[in-house]
Structure 1
């Protein structure tokens, strides 16, 4: 593999960055993978894995919601800053238009659970926690989100009846 210009790569692959997540593999290796994530995204979910994630914000700012000790915290990551997410911390990156980030994640071994979590926007009740073996995060994670939003049974809060819509 030879060195290459990252911004040229982003321009050449611009058609791949689509909501809801807006991610594309920059590198997909045996032990880890690197994604470029371009805003805007369309997310009202939380993601949780049993490993760390490393964020580098290349352009613009991103707000990452985390749930720590049952409390939602919003972390603003400015252009040029880095952010580490510890294992098993639910997080929800909110990317605005024309933003660009780089995320490094450990390749999950087969059978290690990945979580796609939705909370009710009205009463904050857990509505859905899909635990699955996500072999391809670029493809499978967005598919799981679309399946949730399309199913009124899955996406309706049992406590208050609010339906979580696709943003």
Structure 2
């Protein structure tokens, strides 16, 4: 077996990603390491709870990383181009950046017993709306898009039990 140490031109990979229309390009996925380049979404509202630590590097553009404190308060960390941020496992976070921006993410590949969670909160009163969960065996399957589809396809999931607001589809 030949030993490989991949070298990736992040700007070229980002341009290929944009041309393809896809959101994620997995650069490598090994038992102890997962690295992917993500392109922003026009709309993002969920908070991802990752069972592994994450390092995010803003390759191009700017990102507002929404996150929830242990007390449940929503905060925003602004990550400018060329900046890096560490997000510990278990912190609900929502990377929000435009489709022409690129983010490099490094985390650990999931262990068989680990579950990723995606949570939504009411845009009017901030009450909890819904949670999707899944085991992410292969990040190439784009679990965020699948969780989004399940959530937005259900008006029941998008309806706040506290104030009655229905989160609109993007």
Residue 14 of structure 1 deviates from its aligned partner by: 3.0
Aligned partner of 1:95 in structure 2 is 97
TM normalised by structure 1 equals 0.89
2:145 to 138, 142, 146: 142
Q: Determine if contact 1:40/1:99 at 8 Å carries over to the other structure.
A: no
8 A Cα contact 1:17 1:38, kept in partner = no
* TM-score normalised by the chain length of structure 2: 0.87
Moved over 4 A (4+): none
Gaps of 5+ in 1: none
1:157 alignment partner, SS class = coil
User: Residues 67 and 165 of structure 1: is their aligned pair in 2 closer, same or farther, counting only changes over 3 Å?
Assistant: same
1:5-44 superposed matches below 5 A: 5-18=9-22, 22-44=23-45
Superposition pairs of residues 79-94 of structure 1, within 5 angstroms:
79-94=81-96
Instruction: Give the superposition deviation at 1:144.
Output: 1.4
Count matched residues.
164
* SS of aligned partner of 1:153: helix
Q: What secondary structure is seen at the aligned counterpart in 2 of 1:37?
A: strand
5+ long unaligned stretches in structure 2 = none
Distance 1:146 1:32, change over 3 A: same
Q: CA deviation at 1:131?
A: 2.5
- CA RMSD, Structure 1 to Structure 2 (Å): 1.8
1:140 & 1:164 partners in 2: Cα distance?
A: 21
